[in-house]
Amino acid sequence: MISLNKTVAYTKSWPKVLLTSFIIGGGLSAALILLEPFDTSEATMSYKELRLAGYTFCIVIPASIFHLAGNAVYKKQKNRWFIVNEVTYMVLCLFTVISSCFLYNVYVVNNSTATTSGWIYFMKYYGLPFIPLLGPPWMYLRSKFGEIIVPTANEGKSSEVVITISGENKSESISLNFSDFVFAQAQQNYVAINYIAEGELKQEMIRSTLANLTKQIPDAWQVHRSYLVNLDFLKSVEGNARKRSMTLTTPAEPIPISQKYYEALKNRLSKSSQNLQK
């Protein structure tokens, strides 16, 4: 089962958001003009093609509005974007897009008056059939243009910040300074917490998931589906495109790095004095 708290790429750039929305909106308008579904071929109106092309902005405008909200959430979550955020964004966006298309159809295309019954009819017979055509390519482009960002070493971390890691059982709770947390490794239904205590690397097991820990330790960063790391302990990155791993300053085994996280990590390292080997 896919965790809704899993980190995914986020499209923060305005040019990329606008490009994506114009591609999807332009595709919708092109389909209406060229394929003439829903009896549009029988419609008689002045500037028919131009009016149908206007449906593009029924996607561009809502996408721009929700991008403002998305950026605020993204910033609040310390440059993280989760599956639950992406699903919520797409559901709200598609709902607003279809409603915008209804209003545009009523007032601009047909020069009529909007009614609640008309909106329900439009949603059922026009909006819903287009969701499978708009949603998947839109999500694909957002993923294609999106990125996972790892902050630079000096972006607001404090060694005095105390974190509390709680497991599914009430008795499972670990409190420590963030500066003592090294990494966490997911192991089936458990997570191994590795931290520094009395100058030594120690480990405790709790019943939880890596996605839940990501929420509890916002300054740690996921570098692999099974690893969450305090990048302050990062010493070097080694390997090639097929297999990469990171070495920590503590006596621990090398930690694997997934390709999608490596690009973000590479940008982080390029702004620091840490070593990077390709």
In the chain, what are the domain boundaries? 14-145, 162-276
- What's the mean pLDDT in 163-173? 87
- What's the mean pLDDT in 215-242? 85
Q: Between 275 and 199, whose confidence is greater? A: 199
pLDDT confidence of residue 3:
63
Over the stretch 47-57, which tens digit does the pLDDT of each residue have?
888 888 999 99
The encoded tokens of residue 91 equal 């559901």
Q: Between 77 and 26, whose confidence is greater? A: 26
pLDDT confidence of residue 278:
44
- Tell me the residue length of the chain: 278
Over the stretch 120-143, which tens digit does the pLDDT of each residue have?
999 998 888 889 989 999 999 998
Q: Between 172 and 64, whose confidence is greater? A: 64
- CA–centroid distance for 235 within its chain: 28
- What's the mean pLDDT in 225-254? 85
Q: Global pTM?
A: 0.66
Q: Is the pLDDT of residue 275 over 50?
A: no
- What's the mean pLDDT in 1-18? 81
CATH class of 162-276: mainly beta
Q: Is the pLDDT of residue 263 over 80?
A: no
- What's the mean pLDDT in 143-168? 73
pLDDT confidence of residue 273:
46
HSE toward the beta carbon, residue 7, CA cutoff 13 A: 30
Compute the mean pLDDT over every residue in the chain, rounded to the nearest whole number.
85
- What's the mean pLDDT in 72-94? 90
pLDDT tier at 100, thresholds 50, 70, 90:
very high
